[in-house]
Amino acid sequence: MQLNAETIAAHLNGTIEGDASTVVSAPARIEQGKTGTVCFLANPKYEKYLYTTQASIVLLNRDYNLQSPITPTIIRVDNAYEGIASVLALFESAKLAEKKGREMPSFFSWRAKKGKNCYIGVFAVVSKKARLGNNVKIYPHVYIGDNVKIGDNTIIYSGVKIYHDCVVGNNCIIHSNSVIGADGFGFAPQANGEYKKIPQTGNVVIDDNVEIGACTTIDRATMGSTVVGSGVKLDNLIQIAHNVEIGKNTVIAAQTGIAGSAKIGESCVFAGQAGIIGHLTVGNRVTIASKSGLSNNVADDKAMLGFPAMEAGKYKRSFAVYRNLPELSNEVYRMKKIVEQLTASKDTE
């Protein structure tokens, strides 16, 4: 796909400085820009590359002052970082638009239905009574189970498995090898020491505008639904257990695990490798630091840190003491020696 500066500027409501007919066919990092690419400058750390880049178009903030003239065509925008994201989306949408029709061999049940302009990749399986909206992209080796519903403009990348009865909203992206709707980890201990499986009869409901990273698993509910709210972004290698509910616009980084029936609020941020035990309630706008282990309910607008997690301010004060434990230990030992010597001296009087 090729875009000219005039088209990009119109899409971004930007202002052109230079040749409006300049054409680009790919984005690039500013330090690696070459003819035919578009790049951007948002971080001052990379400012030096602005004057040496070979890119054809550069996005700059409106208030950026050039120190000397540059060769590329400039497009001034309100926010260059957001601008390049929109340009990337333009290139990506062009690639997706090329994906249409059904590749063979693949299986599409005669009892399933799909909307307009869908793509079904080779070796994909769409089972009975599944429903695909318009512009849905099903890449190769995807499995869509019975009664699954997928909304408009959703992309399911290669190797994803969506079990029966699950629901995926509009404008979602699910990356390769994720599993949606596998059984929750439910087993009842028996008198003889064995474990009896508890049937997992619910489903997973994923709302609109959700993105799920590669190799992430979201288990179906024991009863009812495991729910992922609108706008949620899940990184790679995340485990969401049965009956978990995640509020809208929450962001969760890689290797986080959320145990069964936990309730996560809206607009939360969980850093990598956080662990949440089951049946907790986490409020809105809560931040949980990397490698933290949450074992208690958390109110709105809190920042949690540590294992077990505590409020960030308290943790930092505690860590200041912990960091000085060797010195404190030596001081206690020294004071103990003094007490022993004084006691011994008193006993000899």
Return the structure tokens found at 3: 């875009």
Q: Which neighbouring-strand residues pair with 282?
A: 264, 298
* Total length of the chain: 349
Select which of 11, 141, 242, 279 is catalytic: 242
Alpha carbon distance 14, 146 (integer Å): 47
Q: Which amino acid is at 125?
A: V
Alpha carbon distance 152, 131 (integer Å): 10
128 Cβ contact list (under 8 Å, min separation 6): 109, 111, 112, 146, 147
Per DSSP, the residues of 264-323 read E-TT-EE-TT-EE-TT-EE-TT-EE-TT-EE-S-B-TT-EEETTTTEEHHHHHHHHHHHH
Per the annotation, the verdict on 242 as an active-site residue is yes
Task: Confirm if 324 and 306 have CB atoms less than 8 A apart.
Answer: no
SS3 96: helix
Catalytic residue numbers read 242
